[in-house]
Amino acid sequence: MNAAEFSSTSKTRRRLALIGWLALSFAASISGVFVSTKGWYAGLTKPPWNPPAWVFGPAWTTLYVLMAVAAWLVWREGGWKRQRFPLGLFLLQWLLNALWTPLFFGMHCSGLAVAEIILLWLALAATLWSFWRVRWVAGLLLVPYLVWVAFAGMLNFTIWQLNH
């Protein structure tokens, strides 16, 4: 394989990897397909600072793209072989992200969802820190997500308190 062919293969592999990270990140939202946010949630008492429903789609779309690009940037620094720990943390926080919606909206376990979102925030903070050590911009890309999860945790806690 000559240098041009190698470079083309390498670019194709990087593009496919980015598509894979995007698909994985957005896949966390699939758990929301199986639950309804109407009915039960509409009947809950919420604080006045609860965002309107239309905010969540654009916010999560942006956050999933930022998550994917951050993971992709870390992956590019040696793949799974060299970045097993930070990428493993990413998968852990991803799993916790995917679990929150069924806990809160599906099972109506708002108290358990509070505990779970605290674990998500801690896993995400560890992921951000580990990504920052690999490539600072990858860590920086996770800052809006960390802020959103902190806000969501406060909102989740407040809703739980208002309805117990």
**Residue type, position 82, single letter:** R
Q: What percent of the chain has pLDDT over 70?
A: 93
| Mean of the per-residue pLDDT values of the chain | 92
- The pLDDT, as a whole number, for residue 44 is 94
Query: What's the whole-model pTM score?
Result: 0.90
- The pLDDT, as a whole number, for residue 45 is 96
Structure tokens given for 111: 């108290």
Residue 54, pLDDT > 90, answer: yes
Q: Domains for the chain: give ranges and CATH numbers.
A: 3-162 (1.20.1260.100)
CB neighbours of 74 closer than 8 A, spacing ≥ 6?
83, 86, 87, 90, 131, 134, 135, 138
Interval 6-27: pLDDT, tens: 566 688 999 999 999 999 999 9
Average pLDDT estimate for 75-97: 97
| Band of pLDDT at residue 34, cut at 50, 70 and 90 | confident
- Using an 8 Å Cβ cutoff, are 71 and 90 in contact? yes
Residue 36, pLDDT > 60, answer: yes
Q: How far apart are CA 146 and CA 141, in angstroms?
A: 10
